[in-house]
Structure 1
Amino acid sequence: MTEDAKTAQTTLRVGVVGLGMIGGGVAVSLVRRGRIPIVYDVRPDASDGLDGVPQQVDTLAEVARESDVILVAVVTADQAREVLTGTEGLLSAARPGSTVVLLSTVSIETVRELAAVCAQHEVAFLDAGVTGGTEAANNGLTVMVGGPEQTVHQALPVLEDFAKQVVHCGDLGAGMVTKLARNALTYAVWAAVREAASIATAGGVSLDRLLQVLQNTDGGTSPLTLLQVHAAGIEIPEERIESADALAQKDLAAAQEFAGSVGLEVPITDVVRPRMRAVYSGELPDALPEDPRERGLAMMDRVYGTGYHELVPRNTTIPSIEHTVERLFAQVWARPYLTLRDRRLLTFGVTAMRDRGDLLRTQLSGAMANQEFTLDQLREIVLHLHYYTGWPAGSTVQGVFEELIARTAA
């Protein structure tokens, strides 16, 4: 690097928008490294009490005019949008060649949207998920960055001045995807811990006792350790998958039975139990294609079992088939918020109410191919539907379910 380039990076002027726990801490950390930021918050006194941070300026436009790199640390996507594109927002005054770094956790769609708007103003954009917020004022953040390598390189001196670690995760959106994956793991573990604590408490076991056991036995099963094993490509040998799943089924069934006896809900255990074989074998599905037809066909295989899409006529122009593939499966079954298992249960209920054994058979075949339910759960579904559909329709459900259960077991 030339001396001029080093000087340019050292003298980069930085703005910070949003002075909450993250943004305020970032501003303090920057000051500690000698890089005094231009700061702004909608709260006029937000910078008061932030050690060494100067008084905030009056407008976002002023931040933009005075900054080479602008760190945006607001809470929501709407706030980020307003900060950038509002009447007197950052882009109303940002200089071409400057860079916006979004520290907020938002959707990938929002990242792409905001990056496109910045590009229209010749302003570079980086998504930068952060973690370690309570240490933001002590240069304690881990920053997960997505964007072009050159842009990351140019902004790196600023990022390094407030972070303990900066990880360039890939192209635009990769930083936010990394943050979302990390958060999914955190929240899922949190929920699982709550569920485990509920089981222990319901059985009269103090959490101190559970902690004592875990502190001495779970060294190899922490989320970090398990992810390290997965990243290293270490898998359970194929010949051991059967026994590992059998052990999981036995243990989780016992947990379910106890929970049922005391009226305790254990939704994580209920969902995890039938999926353990797929987890052990690494057979969980990949991301769906973007093309509507290919996406729909791939989703059909997920719903009804591998190879089902081959039943769909090739190059068909029949509207009902096209809508089934490109809308029902590509747009409805593939939507977020409900799992495939959730949608299956809804479809079981509807088809049972209509006393449609043929449709039930199709749905149940898919569910069994995907190992979405245990035998106990399938028979529980039958019992539940008897009471809501009436005994005649319930008997149809039972006949279909027992027929396919027997066929699978044979």
Structure 2
Amino acid sequence: MAKDWKVGFIGLGIMGRSMSRNIYRAGFPVTVWNRTPSKMEEAVKWGALTASSPKEVAQNCNLIITMVGDTPDVREVIEGENGVLSGARPGSVLIDMSTISPDATREIAARAAERGVAMLDAPVSGGDIGARNGTLSIMVGGDAEVLEKVRPVLEAMGKSIVHCGPVGAGQTVKACNQILCGLNLLGMVEAFAFAKKAGVDLEKMLQVTTQGAGGSWALSNLGPRIAKGDLAPGFSVRFQQKDLRIVLQEAERMELPLLGTAVVQQLLRSVQAYGGNDDGTHALIRVMEQLGNVSITPKE
């Protein structure tokens, strides 16, 4: 059934525009919708069809993927008046690849099931680089049999596809991923400040540490950007803060202290206070520069 999927893709942001194109390149017909219509023009150039609403996407597709910003956005495009569930046919599959609350995911999945639509939550990690290269890590919650049916579509976007458990489990694992991302980010900018203050060449520091026990995805992919002064977003402060908010809300519900995560969230709030909401998360380096009174990134 792999090639029988007619894929609808909702959300053409930094991640979604590349993910949808990779699905098309894998041989699946793709229909797109985006809240800002101009973003659909690029998709038309590579072969996508367009729809006037999420409802129309669902009416014309049997596999609908959503990749939007936050829990309210997901609810709007799925449960809204012209949302996916108002047009989806029984037997269709809905995959939400956004990062949202696990509780909200379970609620939406229950509503989908009432209409005969199976839902998977499948948030991703890997940033804009992984989205472009089709090498995302995809963590999936939901029915394992449904996952196997749609796996060929997911394989067009990611190299690691792991079934994490029932609906909501994908979002829970994504929360774990964001905890690690935040703390790796903090470790990276502290290492940069330490090296710079001590007079060590940043490129040489990176050459060694990316290959050692302290290496991380952040260090390998964002470290070189910091060294060049490139703070453009692969994943923005705005969305990292949204993800950390979800993490801390879930932690509060479980009465679980997450001290490091809370610190990172507050430091990123300082980035936001200085106008860096839409910069990449590695703009945390600016806060480190202020705290340490050290110039790290090249200035224009």
Provide the TM-score with structure 2 as the length reference.
0.67
C-alpha distance in 2, partners of 1:149/1:30?
A: 21
Query: Could you say which residue in structure 1 is the equivalent of 2:29?
Result: 36
Unaligned runs of 5+ residues in structure 1 are 1-7, 225-330, 343-410
Q: How does 1:190-339 map to 2 (within 5 A)?
A: 190-201=185-196, 204-208=197-201, 211-212=204-205, 215=208, 219-222=212-215, 334=255
The answer to whether the aligner puts 1:87 opposite 2:81 as a matched pair is yes
Query: Could you say which residue in structure 1 is the equivalent of 2:8?
Result: 15
Query: Could you say which residue in structure 1 is the equivalent of 2:281?
Result: none
Cα shift readout 1:93-138 (whole Å, capped 9, x = no counterpart): 1111111101101121121121122122221110101122324243
Q: Secondary structure at the match of 2:122?
A: strand
The answer to whether the aligner puts 1:97 opposite 2:18 as a matched pair is no
Of structures 1 and 2, the one scoring higher in RCO (CA 8 A, sep 6+) is 2
The answer to whether the aligner puts 1:108 opposite 2:115 as a matched pair is no
CA 1:191–1:95 in 2, change beyond 3 Å: closer, same or farther? same
CA 1:129–1:188 in 2, change beyond 3 Å: closer, same or farther? same
- Look up the equivalent residue of 1:178 and give its one-letter code: V
Q: Percent identity?
A: 32
Q: Secondary structure at the match of 1:150?
A: helix
8 Å contact from structure 1 (residues 72, 103) kept in 2: yes
Aligned-pair distance for 1:213?
8.7
8 Å contact from structure 1 (residues 47, 53) kept in 2: no
8 Å contact from structure 2 (residues 141, 164) kept in 1: yes
Query: Could you say which residue in structure 1 is the equivalent of 2:20?
Result: 27
The answer to whether the aligner puts 1:131 opposite 2:52 as a matched pair is no
Aligned-pair distance for 1:186?
1.5
The answer to whether the aligner puts 1:146 opposite 2:173 as a matched pair is no
Aligned-pair distance for 1:40?
0.6
Provide the TM-score with structure 1 as the length reference.
0.50
- Look up the equivalent residue of 2:7 and give its one-letter code: V
Query: Could you say which residue in structure 1 is the equivalent of 2:248?
Result: none
Cα shift readout 1:271-296 (whole Å, capped 9, x = no counterpart): xxxxxxxxxxxxxxxxxxxxxxxxxx
Aligned length: 226
Query: Could you say which residue in structure 2 is the equivalent of 1:185?
Result: 180
2:151 equivalent among 148, 156, 162 = 156
1:168 equivalent among 157, 163, 170 = 163
C-alpha distance in 2, partners of 1:213/1:136?
A: 24
CA 1:199–1:123 in 2, change beyond 3 Å: closer, same or farther? same
Aligned Cα root-mean-square deviation (Å): 2.9
- Look up the equivalent residue of 2:113 and give its one-letter code: A
Query: Could you say which residue in structure 2 is the equivalent of 1:117?
Result: 111
Unaligned runs of 5+ residues in structure 2 are 218-251, 264-300
- Look up the equivalent residue of 1:208 and give its one-letter code: D
C-alpha distance in 1, partners of 2:89/2:23?
A: 22
1:46 equivalent among 39, 47, 54 = 39
Q: Secondary structure at the match of 1:122?
A: coil
- Look up the equivalent residue of 2:10 and give its one-letter code: V
CA 1:55–1:195 in 2, change beyond 3 Å: closer, same or farther? same
Q: How does 1:382-397 map to 2 (within 5 A)?
A: none
- Structure showing the higher helix proportion among its residues: 1
- Look up the equivalent residue of 1:16 and give its one-letter code: F
Q: Secondary structure at the match of 2:189?
A: helix
